[in-house]
């Protein structure tokens, strides 16, 4: 990428994901952080990159000519459904929208506005949706006869932790989703098991109770909570606030995607494709995927394309700093 302008990235929203994007940019040589946009008072926001402007989101449109790709680092529940369509009118954008059931609607909204503004919007980027979706699509295409399995964890679930925190008498909580080893082994062994929700994952909860709270009652309420816990085997541990801070600050995660399929005129041959992620930091890894797709967004835009895209629409080479020649010589 010598003698070429770096791709100028804007970060929209500076939480764990925004901080991760900032760090991921430092691992590239063809991108630079142009500005961080925040809804907070910029003077109250401390970033890791000296000299980079911290700007109120209300100033965003003044940066149209100084940002190549805007990476939206808000949440899927309330931020992204409005922000991505609004921003894609004026910027190329990337988001990590991960509410699977609402992806078609979000895609349509982003596509409409992207075409109005002639920009590129790549949605649902991360590891699931994201790298896990790629694994599902490639392996379904290659093995059309077969079964898919996705396991998550071991990892912290933010949504489930929040649900436990809403129980009366709970001061703080962390919930881990854990794949069942025997289920993983059965899939890996080619047995193509039918697995219930309970057979795939267990849940482990660490709770700091308010003083004097009824721990038995809290445990019962967790274990019977509809949708969140009632279909799972759940273990509840009561710990101190200090233990929670000391032992449960990490944001590691991961998971497994399997395709177990057959080929041959009589389905006589069996094959297993497994993708497996072990992540020390869920937000930092997600951010690294976002930054790779920012490179692709710039390239699509430079080719004159516009509209909504997902990871399924983008050639793998578009994510790379290296040229096609370099990729064919060294990574193919």
Nearer to a copy of itself, 5 or 265 (CB): 265
Q: In terms of CB distance, is 82 or 144 closer to a copy of itself? A: 144
Over the window 100 to 119, marking each residue x when it contacts a copy of itself by CB under 8 A and - when it does not, the resulting string is x--xx--x------------
Length of the chain: 332
C-beta closer to a copy of itself: residue 65 or 325: 325
Q: Which of 1, 59, 144, 240 binds a copy of itself (CB under 8 A)?
A: 144
DSSP state of 80: H
Binding marks (x or -) toward a copy of itself, 26..55, rule CB under 8 A? Answer: xxx-------------------x-------
By CB under 8 A, is residue 129 in contact with a copy of itself? yes
**Interaction between residue 328 and a copy of itself (CB under 8 A):** yes
Q: Which helix (H) or strand (E) holds 296?
A: helix 282-302
Residue 249 touching a copy of itself (CB under 8 A) = no
3-class secondary structure, 280: coil
Q: Does 167 help bind a copy of itself (rule: CB under 8 A)?
A: no
Query: Partners of 112 in the beta sheet?
Result: none
Q: Does 281 bind a copy of itself (CB under 8 A)?
A: yes
Contact between 210 and a copy of itself by CB under 8 A: the answer reads no
14 binds a copy of itself (CB under 8 A): no
Per residue in 18-53, is it b (16+ CB within 10 Å) or e — as a string? bbbbbbbbeebeebbbbbbbbeeebeeeebeeeebe
- Given the rule CB under 8 A, which of 17-25, 174-182, 197-205, 225-233 is the region that contacts a copy of itself? 17-25
Question: Would you say 17 and 252 are in contact if contact means Cβ atoms under 8 Å apart?
Answer: no
Q: Are 195 and 149 in contact (CB under 8 A)?
A: yes
Does 303 sit near a copy of itself (CB under 8 A)? Answer: no
Residue with tokens 């541990």: 237
DSSP letter string, 105-158: HHHHHHHHHHHHHT-EEE-S-SBTTBHHHHHHHHHHHH--SEEEEEEE-SEE-H
Task: Please say whether the beta carbons of 234 and 206 come within 8 A.
Answer: no
Which of 273, 297, 299, 307 contacts a copy of itself by CB under 8 A? 273
Contact stretch for a copy of itself (CB under 8 A) within 35-43, 80-88, 132-140, 177-185? 132-140
Distance of CA 154 to the CA centre of its chain: 15
Binding site for a copy of itself (CB under 8 A): 20, 22-24, 26-28, 48, 100, 103-104, 107, 124, 129, 131, 133-138, 140-145, 188, 190, 263-265, 269-281, 284-285, 287-289, 292, 295, 310-317, 319-321, 324-325, 327-329, 331-332
């Amino acid at each position: 990428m010598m003698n070429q302008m770096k791709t100028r990235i804007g970060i929209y929203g500076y939480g764990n994901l925004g901080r991760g994007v900032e760090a991921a940019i430092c691992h590239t040589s063809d991108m630079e952080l142009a500005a961080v946009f925040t809804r907070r008072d910029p003077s109250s926001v401390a970033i890791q990159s000296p000299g980079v402007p911290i700007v109120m989101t209300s100033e965003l449109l003044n940066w149209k000519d100084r940002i190549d790709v805007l990476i939206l680092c808000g949440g899927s529940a309330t931020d992204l459904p409005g922000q991505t369509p609004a921003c894609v009118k004026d910027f190329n954008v990337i988001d990590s929208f991960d509410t699977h059931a609402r992806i078609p609607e979000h895609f349509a909204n982003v596509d409409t506005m992207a075409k109005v503004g002639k920009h590129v919007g790549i949605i649902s980027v991360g590891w699931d949706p994201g790298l896990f979706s790629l694994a599902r699509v490639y392996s379904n295409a290659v093995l059309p006869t077969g079964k898919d399995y996705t396991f998550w964890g071991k990892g912290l679930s933010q949504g489930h932790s929040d649900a436990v925190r809403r129980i009366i008498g709970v001061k703080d909580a962390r919930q881990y989703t854990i794949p069942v080893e025997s289920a993983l082994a059965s899939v890996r062994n080619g047995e193509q098991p039918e697995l219930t929700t309970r057979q795939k994952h267990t849940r482990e909860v660490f709770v700091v109770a308010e003083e004097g709270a009824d721990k038995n009652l809290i445990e019962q309420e967790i274990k019977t909570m509809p949708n969140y816990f009632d279909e799972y085997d759940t273990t509840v541990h009561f710990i101190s606030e200090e233990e929670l801070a000391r032992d449960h600050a990490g944001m590691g995660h991961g998971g497994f995607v399997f395709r177990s399929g057959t080929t041959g005129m009589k389905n006589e041959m069996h094959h297993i494709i497994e993708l497996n992620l072990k992540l020390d930091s869920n937000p930092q890894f997600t951010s690294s995927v976002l930054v790779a797709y920012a490179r692709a967004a710039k390239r699509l835009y430079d080719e004159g394309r516009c509209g909504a895209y997902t990871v399924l629409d983008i050639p793998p080479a578009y994510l790379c700093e290296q040229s096609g020649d370099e990729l064919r010589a060294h990574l193919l």
